[in-house]
A = this chain, B = another copy of it.
Amino acid sequence: MELFELYREISVKNEKKILLIVLDGIGDLPLKEDKTPLEAAKTPNLDILAREASLGLHDPVARGITPGSGPGHLALFGYDPLKYDVGRGVLSALGLGMDLMPEDVAARGNFATIDEQGNVLDRRAGRIPTELNKKLIGKLGTNIKEIDGVKIFLKTEAEHRFARVLRGEGLGGAVSDTDPQVTGKSPLVPTALNKGSEKTAEIVKNFIEKAGQILADEHPANFILLRGFDRLPLIPPVSEIFKLKAGAIASYPMYRGVAKLVGMEILGIEGEGEMLDEKVELLKTKFPEYDYIFFHIKKTDSYGEDGNFDAKVHHIEEFDNVLPEILSISPDVLVITGDHSTPVPLKNHSWHPVPVLLKSEFTRPDETTRFTEKEALKGSLGRFKGTELMPQLMAHALKFKKFGA
């Protein structure tokens, strides 16, 4: 039997409540004064917690693998990202609250600027305001409702980004990106990557041409680029595998998307932006109604990607500041970790293992005194794979029955 199938068999419902806090991209490398952001930050509240909790490190997907946000979060939710490989288009569409049907094909879109020769001048159309995006999406939506019997749905994400869903018969999800990834080149022609996706590629090509005509007189957003085509994967929900009524508090669409994919309810927050205080308030209100809440903090990752050490430190301190408010809800099992590392020196996601803090009535104490990469090395949780976190939470919440007699 596969371990994942065992979870389904041994999981039970009870009154215990789990809180998973994801500090996106939290793991780092030493930089200033040989300290990582977690080491440099003043975190009196986290420090107390680190003394009381068990620490460890997880490799989100596997050693050496740098995970995207999708695989990183799927792993934290207990789902093997190598088995459940999800396209970003699907995650975005879900995150924006678009109802995806099993046969739909989703993709992410950018408004872009092209010159008279048709070469890309700006892949993000100068990051147009979200309001203009909405106006243009309205214009496209009014003019292109369907092509050859395939319905087209569009929704603004933010700035230059939108999501696009195709609904119709005989659509495959394997179509190549049209974003050339560099400026000065023409957009790529969408190409079917397998036989079953030829119709999709034709429709997409047609759609892009029409969109180009409609946007021709706009400036700077006179073209669109599409990428991350995919269909909804079949994923058994957390309610089935873990018997959890699970909710997600995340203020960026991507993370709401991946939470929805595994059957979590998306709680209250829309749009994009950190909104830390609002999220904490929402958590305090909603926690009593759920068995498990996934609470996502984004900016630790953003500042890592910006290469901004001080801002990452500051944001960790801001989190530490609201921690007592968060702890006031007294979760039976609390985890603080990241979905991957985003070291400031790399300005990118990385493969480095991610610190984990786990606290419950049943944690084995260790001698860790701070929530840092180095202290986590000494922690009683040791080093484990991302997918192994969820079964540990279930165990600490006494939500897993004994296996065998």
Residues of A within 8 A of B (CB): 1-3, 6, 10, 29-30, 34, 57, 61-71, 81-83, 85-88, 91, 228, 343, 345-346, 348-352, 362, 364-366, 373-374, 377, 380, 382-384, 388, 390-395, 400-405
Contacts and interface: CB of A to CB of B under 8 A. Distances in A.
B362 A85 contact: no
Contact of A228 (B2, B66, B405): B405
- Stoichiometry (number of copies): 2
Contacts of A86: 404
A377 B380 contact: yes
A405 B343 CA distance: 17
25 contacts: A1-B82, A1-B85, A2-B82, A3-B62, A10-B65, A34-B365, A62-B388, A64-B392, A65-B395, A65-B403, A66-B395, A66-B400, A68-B402, A68-B405, A70-B405, A81-B403, A86-B404, A88-B404, A228-B405, A343-B362, A348-B402, A349-B402, A351-B391, A366-B374, A377-B382
Contact of A64 (B365, B374, B391): B391
Contact of A63 (B88, B380, B388, B403): B388
A373 to B, nearest CB: 6
A295 to B, nearest CB: 21
A395 B380 CA distance: 26
Closest 5 CB pairs of A and B: A64-B391, A88-B405, A68-B404, A351-B395, A64-B395
Given A61-B403, A62-B388, A63-B388, 13 more contacts: A6-B65, A64-B392, A64-B400, A66-B400, A67-B403, A71-B403, A86-B404, A88-B405, A343-B362, A351-B392, A351-B395, A364-B374, A366-B377
Given A362-B346, A364-B352, A404-B85, A394 B64 contact: yes
A214 B296 CA distance: 64
B68 A403 contact: yes
Contacts of A88: 404-405
Nearest to A377: B380
A89 to B, nearest CB: 9
B380 A382 contact: no
Residues of A contacting B: mostly: loop
A83 B81 CA distance: 22
Contact of A65 (B81, B348, B352, B400): B400
A391 B59 CA distance: 12
A348 B81 CA distance: 33
A243 to B, nearest CB: 14
B66 A401 contact: yes
Contacts of A68: 402-405
